[in-house]
Amino acid sequence: MTIIIIDDDKLVCSALKRIVEAEGVEVLAIGYSGEDALKLYELYHPDIILTDIRMGGMTGIESGKKILEKNPMAKIIFLTTFKDDEYIVKALAMGAKGYILKQDFESIAPALKAVNTGQNIFGDEIVSRLPKMLSKEKKGKEEFDLTEREYEVTELVAEGFSNKEIASKLYLSEGTVRNYISTILEKLYLRDRTQLAIFYYKHFV
């Protein structure tokens, strides 16, 4: 697994490099700004970008968005000391694969390995706060042009059920469930299941 590390604190970068290399992770490069993140991603195309959020100049959120616009399959994990709900929501909504706190250093290497295998990783403290931070005034599904069945599928995706489990619950085939999810994502202009779950909690809970 290859990564690049982005943080405007050089001591933090050095510490992170030692931590992950001790777990067999290859650090291709280190950068100190959002601008560095853009340049280094294009130069190295690492498996994962491990980046701070709040930096001078371009933030990690801004650089992450630009990277994902050009490279939709890029995997970004945000690592920060800030537990600001606004940053967490933005990180999730933009398609980040993980958001963990710097002080939870023991989880950094496992999080990298999990994301590299296709999982999304968000610290337990952050996950426990998601419903509250995303909840807004409940809106009707009709406002988003969702049918009753599409709403049911959306709700089950948000609750963490797999396509197979949704198919079983709704007496549908897995192929039909996949088609429903594709249609829903297209209607709501979303990229993936994670964004759909966020959308559900943000607009319907």
What DSSP state is assigned to residue 71?
-
* Type of residue numbered 45: H
Q: pTM of the entire structure? A: 0.64
Q: Taking the mean position of all CA atoms in its chain, how far away is CA 47?
A: 15
Task: For residue range 119-139, list pLDDT tens digits in order.
Answer: 888 766 666 666 665 554 445
Last residue of some domain: 105, 133, 161? 133
Burial class of 189 by CB neighbour count within 10 A (0 to 12, 13 to 18, 19+): exposed
On whether both 28 and 89 belong to a single domain, the answer is yes
CATH of the domain at 153: 1.10.10.10
Task: For residue range 63-97, list pLDDT tens digits in order.
Answer: 998 999 899 899 999 987 766 666 777 777 778 88
CATH of the domain at 33: 3.40.50.2300
Last residue of some domain: 133, 151, 169? 133
**Containing domain of residue 97, as a range?**
2-133
Last residue of some domain: 133, 167, 194? 133
